[in-house]
Chains A and B, each alone.
Chain A
Amino acid sequence: MNRFLRIVTVILVALTMLVGIGIYQSMAGSAEGKGIFASKKCGDCHLMAGPNTDKTFADKLNRKGPDLWFAGSKFKKDWLEGWLKNPKPIRQMEYNSIEKKNSGNHSKLSDKEAGDVTAYLMTLKSKDVAEGVVKEGPNIQGKIAFEKKQGCYGCHPVTKAGKVVGGLSGPSFVDAGKRLQGDWIYAYLKNPKSLIPVKRMPTYAGILNDADMKNVAQYVTTFK
């Protein structure tokens, strides 16, 4: 019995240590990431404390980069870490512009920095993005809403028959399934003002029904 107790104690201690180290590491990464973010002045272009209170087109035009106060609700962790190491334009046009090409000069982070900044950004969540609502995987109703009922690729580049087609004013959907969480897409479609109050994209809430907004969100996550 004594031996049994000793084994259980050893296992419990080992488990506690492992969990403790895990929590410490994730917290350390996040805290370091926050420090890196501040030292590189990323907050000069990205809004980090939400919600966004923009009211006019001019308010929006004063912003230099996309909001990140909900980054942990929006992005997929692996994609974000990879992108920070090797940033490529997501939107072909410069932020907020419909005239100037994106020069693709976003600063690049080292492997360690990208890991820490990702850990930090993934802690930033919006209460308006409910988790676990949108499933992953093919969704034919979503495809119909995306391509036939609405012309989403009129603004968002997509891959069709191996070729990138579509408009250029919206962010690219070519690898949106690697980049975006389905729950974010649905939350944005359902209540855009709570996340991005001023935008060039039309509001689809009240045009697409709730089921179709979920279907579209799920369909977009298949773009990989």
Chain B
Amino acid sequence: MEMIKRITFTILTALFVTIFIGINQAFAVNAEENYKWYCSQCHGLTGKGDGINATKDQPVNPRNHTDTKEMAKLSASDVENVIRDGGAATSKSTMMPPFGKTMTDAEIKELVAYLSKLCNCKFK
């Protein structure tokens, strides 16, 4: 009897853990998904700065995130700040909107890491 109890308890625990992980994953959005949903509108799906909003009439061109040399000039906090507070916060163009009320701080930090992969560079 004791053993059946223990087995039932183990199965139930495993079930709860599985369900919890499932739910968590369903709502968590990874950096690549966020990039493709939000950033790609201007920076392009592969980060080359060629999104559909990069029309010839815009006052600035969206940054090419695959440009290793240019991207390596930035610090991780610059990148984080510009995503959170927009271009104006880092004396760049206001055409880069603020995403601080759209993505969580954790998501923004993960996005910085994703950008580091895209540029194949390390931020200062």
Contact = CB atoms under 8 A, between A and B. Distances in A.
Contacts of B33: 57
Interface string B92-124: 011111111110000000000000000000000
B52 A168 contact: yes
B14 interface: no
Interface of B: 26-27, 29, 33, 37-38, 40-42, 45, 51-55, 57-59, 86-88, 93-102
B32 to A, nearest CB: 11
Interface stretch (A65-73, A80-88, A197-205): A197-205
A99 B51 CA distance: 9
A207 B96 CA distance: 14
A57 B37 contact: yes
Interface residues of A, number: 25
Contact of B101 (A165, A167, A169, A204): A204
30 contacts: A55-B27, A56-B26, A57-B29, A57-B37, A98-B40, A98-B51, A148-B94, A149-B88, A151-B59, A151-B95, A151-B96, A151-B97, A154-B42, A154-B53, A154-B58, A154-B95, A155-B42, A165-B55, A167-B58, A168-B53, A169-B41, A169-B52, A169-B53, A202-B38, A202-B98, A202-B99, A202-B101, A202-B102, A203-B101, A206-B100
